[in-house]
């Protein structure tokens, strides 16, 4: 079987860099082009320095003729790219931005929402996939089993902290080391853009909206998302745990931990770890992921594997860190 030819548009950012690290070592993939209009002709390793000695690829402004195109562009730019570039109908597309997560139709394509643990069968048949947002990924994985049985009647309360890479590579006032170091801050409380896709999932699974009170927090670390979620629950904890184990039985990257979890347990992996507790009639769910892997590029590769009938874990058995 010929290797999958992959192109990456928007090749200089954090998600593209993470995607390159995974795809360079993917046994079924050949990277045919890494697009950047501003860096065309430069070596990929000159931007992603950790890839020095790993690849001789150079940035280009030509898409070529790939089997799969990953869009790692800024939010709102994927539609513009697809409008201005000729992409074969036979090329599969995976968008890591937010252009198609809620409004999924574009010309002849209908983008399937790429949360594998929700839409695995649809993704297997898809030619276009909208990768979930990083916060949306962690939060939804935390509540999908409860939603699947329509067991949530109360508001869902979420506080989730993310690393600085979640803000993207472009410098900003709140992304500077001098701001982030030894500091945390709330941003976009109750209005974060990932709420739109979360609300869409909730309505599709339950038939009615549920209020999600989401407070995002900037963390003083580079990568990872730690989500603390709670909602009213009148079910015994052992029954909730059995439900989560059953729901994720065929999910190769989602694990239910009996012990409390910490962020470093998932960094540099495509795993999501979940811990469940019951307190005074409230179910507390801790859900953790690496925002650049399971929250972005690893999830995109997981989607690609399904779209090309590969084992879902191919290229994603990554080494975690403990300290």
Q: Are strands 282-289 and 225-232 parallel, antiparallel or unpaired?
A: antiparallel
Distance CA 215, CA 148 (A): 24
Residue the block writes with tokens 């995974």: 22
φ, ψ dihedrals at 10, nearest 5°:
85, 50
Rounded Cα distance, 98 and 76, in Å: 7
Decide if 134 is catalytic: yes
Centre a 10 Å sphere on the Cβ of residue 24 and count the other Cβ atoms it contains: 16
Which DSSP string corresponds to 234-297? -S-HHHHHHHHHHHTTT-SSEEEESS---GGGTTTSS-EEEEEEEETTEEEEEEEE-TTIIIII
Cα 270 to Cα 251: distance, rounded to the nearest angstrom: 12
Catalytic residue chosen out of the listed positions 32, 72, 134, 233:
134
Please identify every residue annotated as catalytic.
Answer: 134
């Amino acid at each position: 079987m010929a290797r999958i030819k992959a192109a990456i548009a928007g090749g200089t950012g954090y998600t593209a860099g993470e995607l390159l690290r995974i795809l360079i070592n993917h046994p079924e993939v050949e990277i045919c082009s890494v697009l950047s209009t501003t860096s065309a002709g430069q070596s990929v390793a000159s931007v992603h320095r950790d890839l020095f000695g790993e690849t001789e690829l150079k940035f280009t402004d030509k898409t070529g003729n790939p089997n799969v195109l990953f869009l790692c562009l800024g939010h709102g730019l994927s539609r513009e790219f697809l409008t201005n570039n000729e992409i074969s109908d036979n090329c599969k597309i995976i968008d890591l931005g937010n252009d198609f997560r809620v409004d999924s139709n574009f010309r002849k394509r209908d983008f399937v929402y790429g949360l594998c643990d929700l839409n695995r069968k649809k993704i297997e048949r898809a030619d276009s996939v909208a990768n979930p947002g990083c916060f949306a990924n962690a939060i939804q994985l935390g509540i999908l089993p409860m939603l699947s049985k329509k067991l949530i009647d109360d508001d869902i309360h979420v506080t989730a902290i993310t690393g600085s890479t979640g803000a993207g590579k472009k410098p900003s006032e709140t992304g500077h080391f001098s701001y982030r170091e030894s500091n945390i801050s709330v941003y976009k409380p109750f209005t974060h853009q990932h709420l739109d896709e979360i609300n869409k999932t909730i309505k599709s699974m339950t038939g009615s909206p549920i209020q999600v009170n989401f407070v995002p927090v900037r963390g003083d670390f580079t990568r990872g998302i730690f989500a603390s979620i709670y909602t009213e629950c009148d079910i015994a904890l052992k029954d909730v745990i059995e439900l989560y184990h059953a729901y994720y039985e065929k999910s190769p990257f989602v694990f239910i931990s009996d012990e409390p979890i910490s962020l470093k347990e998932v960094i540099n992996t495509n795993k999501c770890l979940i811990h469940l507790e019951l307190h005074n009639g409230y179910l507390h769910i801790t859900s953790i992921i690496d925002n650049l892997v399971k929250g972005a590029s690893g999830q995109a590769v997981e989607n690609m594997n399904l779209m090309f009938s590969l084992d879902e874990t191919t290229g994603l058995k990554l080494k975690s860190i403990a300290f």
